[in-house]
Amino acid sequence: MRRTMTGRGGLEMAAASRVSGSAWDGRVNLLWISPFVALAGCVVVVFGSNPHSHYGLLLAVVPLLSAAVHNVGTTTLVGGACVAFFALAHYRVPAGDTAVWLIKLGIVAAAAVIGVLISRARVSERQLTESRAVALTLQRGLLPHDVKATNAVEVHHRYLPADSEAGVGGDWFDVIQLSGARVALVVGDVAGHGVHAAATMGRLRTAVHTLADLDLAPDELLARLDDLVIRLADDETDRIVAASCLYVVYDPVSRRCTIARAGHPAPAIVRPDGRADFPRLPDNPPLGLGGTGFECAELTLPEGTLLALYTDGLLALRAGGPEAAQEAMARVLERTGLPLASLCDGVLAALPPSGAEDRSRDDIALLLARTRVVDPRWVASWELPATAEAPSRARTLTARQLDTWHLSEALFPTELVVSELVTNAVRYGGGPVRLRLIYDHALICEVSDTGSTSPHLRHARLMDEGGRGLYLVGCLTDRWGTRYGSGGKTIWAERSLAGVTGAAREPSSNGISRDAVRS
């Protein structure tokens, strides 16, 4: 019975839509032929009226009506027909009234020309509107659709495209989850406007994601990105390709924040007590110039610190200049107790174009991030000597720690991963070996050594005695990789805790100390 009613309702709706569609089609057809009907009616009036009457001026309305409905070609045809028909009416005008007739003919001809110009203006406006719509669609498709908070930071953003005259720009932002519970915050700006700027923005954003997956340091990542911009500029000789970028990496375990910029404004850093400042960072050149290295700065941030990353379009809103805009921004961000969404709205409201009537001619990207800290009870680390007993010792410490965290169900795969990683570090790296476990959005295992040799995944043959360690790590974890530091390298692996009983429980307070434990 329910299905029958639903089907009947669907038929009625379909029939109603067909009726309304037919009525709409009828109105469209009537509107489409209205200039021709008006032209025919005016011709009848002209040839049927007194030659001394002014009814012929009705023909001047027909090109304007056609310009409102048809394209340039049809409007030109209708306008030319109006002038031709009025010229034919000259043979019905007495010789003494030629001057008046010429004035009327000039009015009709002027109306025909104006109709063509209006039609061309409509076409140009429609093309600009469609081009902007395409650029906006491309830009929105290339920007992140949903920036989610992580265990490292709470984030919120605002993005405002430029006005219709300037066109779509190349501003972008991103929040990228890194290894070791870290997070990368990115804001960039491609010079220029239009589809090409949006496409270049998409290529740079993809490159940043790829380079971030390699766990490159911020200064090295910007150097690689600079090489890419130079290659893009070489390929596109007909236009200038340049960009700026700000790349921030925050570690919620150590609370260290590493910042590098390439021709981009410095971020605003607001301490939990409300003290806001714009730190002095190494003034690296914009991307695309080449020939120079990049430097980064490292800060230690307390929990609850607010980071504000933005593009220069936000500073351009203030008539007093970038310094006045930064001061106004700082006054808003000092109210740290407000939600990030309210702070974003407050920053945009505090930076109106003073005395200006139009909107900004540049895109505006604003990304706010409030730092979090991983509870020390969720982190366990040990330092082991590079001896043959290290893998066994690592398995014992891992089993004890997972039992403390109530993750006994994840013990077997975690022991295998830890054993393989520590064995590789002892065999191919240099001591001492450091093992760290992090209980975050996933169970993270990290093994560090002083070596710099990058491990490679091998596919061992049937009779090979080795070469299966990293293959097992890849099968037992969701993702793994290598990152390098000043003292060597770290091989990390993450395993999801979905389906593990007790994975959502908070670890007990009697966990193993984070301090190094030597065997």
Each residue of 180-193: pLDDT tens digit? 999 999 999 988 77
Least confident interval from 30-39, 283-292, 364-373: 30-39
Q: Which CATH class is domain 145-371?
A: alpha beta
Backbone angles phi, psi at 92, to 5 degrees: -95, 0
Q: How many whole angstroms separate alpha carbon 32 and alpha carbon 24?
A: 12
Options 1.10.10.10, 3.40.50.300, 2.30.30.100, 3.30.565.10; CATH for 377-495 is 3.30.565.10
Band (4; pLDDT cuts 50, 70, 90): very low
Each residue of 157-188: pLDDT tens digit? 888 877 655 456 778 899 999 999 999 999 99
Task: Assess whether pLDDT exceeds 60 at residue 11.
Answer: no
Residue spans per domain, the chain: 2-137, 145-371, 377-495
Q: Which residues of 371-381 are buried (b: 16+ CB within 10 A; e: fewer)?
A: bbbbeebbbbb
Q: Mean per-residue pLDDT for 150-155?
A: 88
Q: Mean per-residue pLDDT for 132-136?
A: 72
Q: Mean per-residue pLDDT for 1-21?
A: 42
Band (7; pLDDT cuts 50, 70, 90): very low
Mean pLDDT of all residues belonging to the chain: 79
Do 172 and 166 meet the contact criterion of CB atoms below 8 Å apart?
no
Task: Assess whether pLDDT exceeds 90 at residue 437.
Answer: yes
Band (497; pLDDT cuts 50, 70, 90): confident
Mention every residue, 6+ apart, whose C-beta is less than 8 A from residue 435. Answer: 381, 382, 383, 384, 394, 397, 398, 418, 422, 445, 446, 447
Structural element, H or E, at residue 298: strand 296-300
Band (59; pLDDT cuts 50, 70, 90): confident
Do 232 and 218 meet the contact criterion of CB atoms below 8 Å apart?
no
Least confident interval from 95-109, 121-135, 244-258, 344-358: 344-358
Q: Supply the pLDDT for residue 367.
A: 93
Extract the tokens encoding 76. 């030109």
Least confident interval from 16-25, 144-153, 243-252: 16-25
Q: Supply the pLDDT for residue 245.
A: 94
Tell how strand 443-449 and strand 488-495 pair up: antiparallel
Give the position of tokens 């299905």.
3
Do 350 and 156 meet the contact criterion of CB atoms below 8 Å apart?
no
Q: Would you call 514 exposed, middle or buried from its count of C-beta atoms within 10 A (0-12, 13-18, 19+)?
A: middle
Do 138 and 190 meet the contact criterion of CB atoms below 8 Å apart?
no
Q: Would you call 348 exposed, middle or buried from its count of C-beta atoms within 10 A (0-12, 13-18, 19+)?
A: middle
Q: How many whole angstroms separate alpha carbon 80 and alpha carbon 86?
A: 10
Q: Would you call 413 exposed, middle or buried from its count of C-beta atoms within 10 A (0-12, 13-18, 19+)?
A: middle
- Residue 359, amino acid: R
Band (93; pLDDT cuts 50, 70, 90): low
Q: Is the dihedral of CA 385, 412, 183, 345 positive or negative?
A: negative
Task: Assess whether pLDDT exceeds 80 at residue 211.
Answer: yes
Closest CA to 153 of 379, 281, 340: 340
Q: Would you call 159 exposed, middle or buried from its count of C-beta atoms within 10 A (0-12, 13-18, 19+)?
A: middle
Task: Report the DSSP beta bridge partners of residue 307.
Answer: 269, 369
Q: Which residues of 194-205 are buried (b: 16+ CB within 10 A; e: fewer)?
A: bbbbbbbbbebb
Q: How many CA atoms lie within 13 A of 326 on its CB side?
A: 16
Do 114 and 64 meet the contact criterion of CB atoms below 8 Å apart?
yes
Our CA angle for 378, 249, 503, nearest 5°, is 25
DSSP type of residue 349: H
